[in-house]
Amino acid sequence: MMTGTTATSPLLGRTALISGSSSGIGAGVAAAFARAGAAYVVINYPVEAEAAAAEAVAEQVRSLGAKALAVQADVSDEGEVARLVAAAFEAAGQIDILVNNAGIGHGDTVEEMPVATWDRVIGVHLRGTFLLTHAVLPGMYANGFGRIINTASQLAYKGAPGLSAYTAAKGGIISFTRSLALEIGSRNVRANCVAPGATRTPILDAVPADVLEAIRAGIPVGDLADVADIVPSYVFLASEAGRHYQGQVLSPNGGDHFL
């Protein structure tokens, strides 16, 4: 239960569920929340192969003073989402902050993309965001408090060849967030997006070096982001300092695109 905040512990006592947090931005957000005073952080990972990585993130969270639990669940599956949220409530007692961060990338032109690939990318990003939000809202309403932060992308605004499913999903997340914000504002629940630019995470591992160099060269600040450049936006939106943000998109992208 929230007991108060300080400048150095803006999330003091809060509980958080972060989907897709066994690596990358999600893992960075989990650690940042712990540093900001969160009491409990639930780590989500998609498949058993990610179990060790998820437990390593949970252990880092514990070393920073918060409790942690790692739970495997495919966020595009309604039954698995229900199990994930039940486990989070059983462990932490409530969910104050939901970060919908789970995502996958796949590059293909529209004419070459298998329909199953389109469905999978949309399912993880967009359906997963809906399912988790749908599942946690009743508890947030009951507590009279909630922070929902959805991971979008600057590519939702500028597009990218070969990434139509990804950009469509991220654009859908932004639109979903705006509609959600109009529904929930009077309930002291906030819904916002973070739309990072190109960030050094495992999702970029398959991108050829020359392509990454071209991306870097096009960013006004002259470099890709590190995870540490991205996570402060999540902490801000989760904290009391972000209480007047509703339906907004923060985009730490180095000037790659102006919102």
pLDDT digits (tens, 9 = 90+) for 35-72: 999 999 999 999 999 999 999 999 999 999 999 999 99
Residues 158 and 153: their CA atoms lie apart, in Å, by 9
- List alpha helices for 107-163, DSSP H: 115-122, 128-143, 155-158
Q: What is the pLDDT of residue 215?
A: 86
Question: Which residue do the tokens 């005073």 mark?
Answer: 37
Residue 45 known to be catalytic: no
Determine the straight-line distance between the first and last CA of the chain, rounded to whole angstroms. Answer: 36
Question: Mean pLDDT for the chain?
Answer: 94
Q: What is the pLDDT of residue 6?
A: 65
Q: How many CB atoms lie within 10 A of CB 89?
A: 17
Mean pLDDT of 109-120: 96
Return the closest-CA partner of residue 194 out of 141, 239, 243, 252.
252
Residue 216 has pLDDT above 80, yes or no: yes
pLDDT digits (tens, 9 = 90+) for 157-196: 999 888 999 999 999 999 999 999 999 989 999 999 999 9
Q: Nearest 5°: CA angle at 238, between 237 and 242?
A: 45
**Structural domains of the chain sorted by starting position, each given as residue range(s) with its CATH number in brackets:** 15-250 (3.40.50.720)
* Per-state percent for the chain, helix, strand, coil, to nearest 5: 50, 15, 35
Q: How many CB atoms lie within 10 A of CB 78?
A: 14
Catalytic residue among 157, 166, 234, 245: 166
Sheet containing 15-18: order of strands: 67-72, 40-45, 15-18, 97-100, 146-151, 189-194, 249-250
Beta bridge partners of 225: 199
